[in-house]
Amino acid sequence: MMFFYRLIMSGVAVILCSGLSIGLAHATELSSTRLPYHSSLKAASQEKKIRPSVKFTPVNSSPQNTYPIILVHGLAGFDDLYGFFQYWGGLTDIEKDLRKRGYHVYTADIGTFSSNWDRAVELYAQIKGGRADYGAAHAKKHGHDRYGRTYPGLYPEWGKVDEKTGKVNKVHLIGHSLGGQTVRTLVQLLEHGDKNESAFKKGVGLSPLFNHEQKSWVSSVMAISSPHDGSTLTYQIEEMMPKAQQLIAAFAAISGNRSFVDYDFKLDQWGLKRHPGEPFNDYMKRVCKSSIWKKTKDSSEWDTSLPGAIELNQWVQAQPQVYYFSVGTEQTYRSPFTGHEVPELLMNPAFYSFSFYMGKYTRNFDEMIVDKGWFKNDGMVNTRSMAGPTMGSTDLIVPYNGTPQIGKWNYLGTMKSYDHVDIIGMGIRDMRPWYRGMAALLASLPE
């Protein structure tokens, strides 16, 4: 339980600290590292000048599809807080910006610390509409409720045949961090279902997500800063943000309410639904004291560990009719004294201790060796893990050359000097133009 308490506090603190940094030019200093960080507007101005090293060029000169884009958050994520702070954009709104430019865009809001299976189920229900059905076999195995929340549907037409075109309504899935693993899992279930669910009680009351009727409802997957092979950070969540509860209270003060934080873990299937008006600290304590963290692998903790990622990679595979893209991030440099990777000056201070730890972590497992190739990171995830799944996987990863290869991971490259939340707009740099380029690329893919 203590590990998950620290993991939860870590994730929430990182997100909230990022929010507090914006608008203050990140004039924050992390006492445990004593590294100056955005101590002046000049430093913030320098960061704004760092341009994306990954750029997008449409495959065709004109749009080839109008499929909606679904934005899927990562660990500790949300859609928005207090109606003004966005996961995708921070104080800017990437979804709104893309909508203004004619794209159909929706932001999902799924379990913050749930497993990729549970999150994929929730994502399916949110897009299509209906009640989240985690599966009878899965629920029995892991000891939680079979059913979760009911959703009206972001795009109820998903999967139906368009009467005008005669083609299936598909979507583009963009996942950040854990969201990259989640969207891969959803595509796998759509295409192949699950044999355990089909066999359980002979499939009585089986969710359409788990049957074996192939559903080619996804045009593309875009994974950003995703731990496809896991993150070594899962082996050391001991060094948390100091005084994380004060950070949470400070963020709540933005809305003028110090006793209430607009944040929901979305763990209803575990009997941990937030009560109306329940103070965040009380809710968080109830979640952290739950016995579920002692007895299950059905969590993001397991899925983002290296063995958990291998387990996921063994059954979640790239599908031959889906375009897969990946983007990496990093904001560290090699120390000439130790040979370790250390955080760049402009990295978000919330990530300093994490980055130092990952930048030197080595370990020999039975099935793998973690060596210096894992050192480079973005403060939360090892860059080596972001191109696509390799450990336990048969997926092919190719450098993107301007012509996307369907059914393979097209690695677009690494965003240099971007930390884990810079890439989604929780930083000084305005990421809206970058996502416009991404949307243009996806719209140019053949139907």
CB atoms within 10 A of CB 380: 27
CB–CB of 391/369 below 8 Å? no
Beta carbons of 113 and 76 less than 8 angstroms apart? yes
Could you tell me the two tokens for 62?
């004109």
Q: Which residues are catalytic?
A: 177, 378, 420
- CA–CA distance, 316 with 189 (Å, rounded to integer): 8
**Interhelix angle 280-288/244-254, nearest 10 degrees:** 140
What distance in Å separates the CA atoms of residue 135 and residue 148, rounded to the nearest whole number? 11
Amino acid at 434: W
Residue 221 main-chain phi, psi, to 5 deg: -120, 130
Place of tokens 């943000």: 241
